Copies of this chain bind each other. A is one copy, B any other.
Amino acid sequence: MIIDIHGHYTTAPKALETWRNRQIAGINTPSEVPKVSELQIGDDELRESIESNQLRLMRERGLDLTIFSPRASFMAHHIGDFQVSSTWAAICNELCFRVSQLFPDHFIPAAMLPQSPGVDVATCIPELVKCVEQYGNVAINLNPDPSGGHWTSPPLSERYWYPVYEKMVEYDIPAMIHVSTSCNACFHTTGAHYLNADTTAFMQCLTSDLFRDFPTLRFVIPHGGGAVPYHWGRFRGLAQELKKPLLKDHLLNNVFFDTCVYHQPGIDLLTRVIPVDNILFASEMIGAVRGIDPETGNYFDDTRRYIESAQIDTDERYKIYEGNARRVYPRLDAALKMKGL
CA distance A9 to B128 in the complex (A): 50
Return the CB mask of A278-307 against B: 1 if under 8 Å, else 0.
000000000011110111000011000000
Name the CB-closest residue of B to A230.
Answer: B230
Contact across chains for B184 and A288 when beta carbons are under 8 A apart: no
A186-B145, A223-B231 known; A237+B150 contact, CB < 8 A: no
Minimal beta-carbon separation of A73 from chain B (angstroms): 13
A195-B199, A203-B188, A238-B190 known; A300+B233 contact, CB < 8 A: yes
> Which among B149, B234, B273 is the interface contact of A288 at CB below 8 angstroms?
B234
Name the CB-closest residue of B to A246.
Answer: B294
A290 to chain B: which residues have CB within 8 Å?
237, 241
A325 to chain B: which residues have CB within 8 Å?
none
CA distance A43 to B286 in the complex (A): 61
Q: Decide yes or no whether A214 CB sits under 8 A from chain B.
A: no
A203 to chain B: which residues have CB within 8 Å?
187-188, 191-192
Q: Decide yes or no whether A338 CB sits under 8 A from chain B.
A: no
Give the most central of A196, A294, A300: most B CB within 10 Å: A196
A200 to chain B: which residues have CB within 8 Å?
186-188, 192, 196
Tally of A interface residues using CB under 8 Å: 59
Q: Decide yes or no whether A25 CB sits under 8 A from chain B.
A: no
Minimal beta-carbon separation of A208 from chain B (angstroms): 10
Return the CB mask of A79-117 against B: 1 if under 8 Å, else 0.
000000000000000000000000000000000000000
Q: Decide yes or no whether A272 CB sits under 8 A from chain B.
A: yes
A207-B188, A266-B231, A269-B269 known; A238+B288 contact, CB < 8 A: yes
Contact across chains for A232 and B265 when beta carbons are under 8 A apart: yes
Minimal beta-carbon separation of A245 from chain B (angstroms): 12
Return the CB mask of A229-249 against B: 1 if under 8 Å, else 0.
111111111101100000000
Q: Decide yes or no whether A34 CB sits under 8 A from chain B.
A: no
Contact across chains for B204 and A186 when beta carbons are under 8 A apart: yes
CA distance A185 to B232 in the complex (A): 22
Say whether chain A's binding surface is mostly helix, strand, loop, or mixed.
helix
CA distance A200 to B187 in the complex (A): 6
Return the CB mask of A247-282 against B: 1 if under 8 Å, else 0.
000000000000001111110110011000000000
Q: Decide yes or no whether A227 CB sits under 8 A from chain B.
A: yes
Name the CB-closest residue of B to A154.
Answer: B185
Q: Decide yes or no whether A174 CB sits under 8 A from chain B.
A: no
A265 to chain B: which residues have CB within 8 Å?
232, 269, 272-273
A241 to chain B: which residues have CB within 8 Å?
289-291
For the complex with contacts A154-B186, A230-B266, A233-B289, 19 further pairs of A-B residues with Cβ separation under 8 Å are: A145-B186, A186-B204, A188-B238, A191-B199, A191-B234, A191-B235, A192-B200, A196-B196, A196-B199, A199-B199, A230-B269, A231-B266, A234-B263, A234-B288, A234-B289, A237-B290, A237-B293, A241-B291, A268-B269
Residue positions of A touching B, CB distance < 8 A:
144-145, 149-151, 153-155, 184-188, 190-192, 195-196, 199-200, 203-204, 206-207, 223-224, 226-227, 229-238, 240-241, 261-266, 268-269, 272-273, 288-291, 293-295, 300-301
